[in-house]
Amino acid sequence: MNESRLKALITGTSDLSKASLASRVLLNRLRIEARTNPASLPQKVAELAAFIAKHAFAADDFARI
C-alpha cells in the first residue's frame, strides 16, 4: 500500500467493518492523533506502514479496502 493511500486512510473517515478489531482501533487512534496534531501525519503514516508490514492479518485487512 503506497504512502498516499495510507495518508488518505488516516485523514479519511472510511470504515473498516470487515477488518480485525486491532486494525480498526489502531487506525482510529492514528486518525485522532493526526487530527489533533496535523504535523504528526508523516509519523502516523510510517507507524501504519510498519504495522501492515509486520502483521499478515493487518496486510489482509488493509488490502481489502
Partner 1 sequence: MKNELLTPAETAERIRAGAILSIAGPDALLATLPRGTWIGGTTVYMLTEDGGARIDDRLFVSTFESATGATIRHHSPDTLPALAQDRPEGVTLLLIPAFSDAHRRFALDGTTYDGLFDQPLAGWITGVPVEKIGTTAPAIFDGTTGTRHTEGAMALHVALPAGTTPSLDIVNIFTPSDDPATTFTFPETGFSARTATVNGKTVDLAAYLRAHAIDTRLPLVANYAGALINVSFEHVDAAGGGVSFYAPVIAGTEYRLATAQPDYAAAFAATLGDGGEGMLSCNCILNYLHGDMAGKKTGRFTGPVTFGEIAYILLNQTLVKLDLAA
Residues contributing to the site for partner 1 (CB under 8 A): 14-29, 31-32, 35-36, 51, 54-55, 57
Find the distance separating the first CA and the last CA of the chain, reported in whole Å. Answer: 10
In the chain, DSSP finds a helix count (H) and a strand count (E) of: 4, 0
**Nearer Cβ to partner 1, position 32 or 46?**
32
Closest by CA position to 40, among listed 1, 12, 18, 10 = 10
**Nearer Cβ to partner 1, position 8 or 22?**
22
Closest contact distance (angstroms) between CB of 1 and partner 1 is 15
**Nearer Cβ to partner 1, position 7 or 31?**
31
